[in-house]
Amino acid sequence: MKITDLIKEDSIDLHVNASTKDEVLQKAVELMVNNGNIRNQEEYLNLVRKREEEGSTGIGEEIAIPHGKGECIEKPGIAAMVIPDGVEFNALDGKPVKLLFLIAAPNTKENVHLDVLSRLSTLLMDEKFRKELLQAKSKEEFLSIIDKTEQEKSEENKEEKDSYEILGITACPTGIAHTYMAAESLEQMGKELGVSIKIETQGQSGAKNRLTEEEIKKAKAIIIAADVNVDLARFDGKRVLMARVSDGIHKPKELIEKALNQKKEIPIYHHEKNEEETSQNGGKRGNIYNHLMNGVTHMLPFVVGGGILIAISFLLDDYSIDPSNFGMNTPIAAFFKTIGGMAFDFMLLILAGYIAMSIGDRPGLVVGFVGRSHCKSRNYFYLF
């Protein structure tokens, strides 16, 4: 699916005038409604506002990519607007936003919209592309620019290399725009500097453009531009430069030059074997032990937290009231005992979900959760 498949002319406005961020969001949502994929306009607007409360989607360079995902969305779509005078958006670089793309994503297992979003984020890192969109005279020209650039980018990506000087991983908490923009920024800067570079993106739809064992072996350094935990086991013995995902977007030259300059004393990463055994194929998804440990690691907070809460309930309860109901005799004890019990109820669900995620990446998470819940509801034999 192409980007232009998700945008209709009715969902584009090239002459938006707004004085506040919220006013822009409201107008963008109205454009999205024109796409015919929103069941409840107010509910979708609340989703978009809630996402902005978590952190501004103004990613810098006068661009914003707000988005919302929920049951009120029937199918994925994109609305676009140009704001000639700009509007304050609390962007990462402090600049007003002049180009905005609003994303709508339904609550479904398909992640087509994420692939489209990754391509859109990648294209927006091209200054020439942004200027052409801002200067578009008509909606038809606006769509034509996107379609042409996307096609050119697709042809460029067909070229493959056997080895790279620098490898990298980008990842952000939401796994959407910043992940792909950081990757594109680093790759574009690599081209400008004449440095061969390959970036693996760990987004909502799983890892894309995966780094191979042979590529890792030949690379001079690894750049990790991420705001979430990234598995580093496969980089044992390599020079690893850690940075924030925003640095990948705004400081790609600095990161690449630092990674190549060995005098900067970038530390060589040494993986602790007792933390997690690595497999021969260079990743944690290679053997059963690592799959199980991924589940156990995420399950432990529920076990420990639930156990502590239940212990507190015993501490606060009055045994003399009803020994057979110890832990639930007083309201405060019952409160802690109930919450602790709920944590225990989630224990096996979390275990199953994250074992499945270790095996099948993010798409496996829903399989583990739903499969475990289904087994429990049907009183089937528990696989986990």
Assigned token pair, 8: 């209709």
The rounded distance, in Å, linking the Cα atoms of 250 and 37 is 34
Look at the block and give the residue holding tokens 């497999």.
Answer: 279
Please report how many Cα atoms fall inside a 13 Å half-sphere around the Cα of residue 206, on the Cβ side.
17
The rounded distance, in Å, linking the Cα atoms of 65 and 179 is 13
Give the sheet arrangement for strand 166-171, strand by strand: 206-208, 197-203, 166-171, 221-226, 240-243
Residue 225: φ, ψ to 5°: -105, 90
**How far, in Å, are 295, 338, 359, 379 from residue 374 at the CA level?**
18, 23, 19, 8
The DSSP code sequence of 66-91 is: -EEEETTBSS-EEEEEEEEEEE----
> Active-site residues: which are they?
67, 172
The rounded distance, in Å, linking the Cα atoms of 121 and 339 is 42
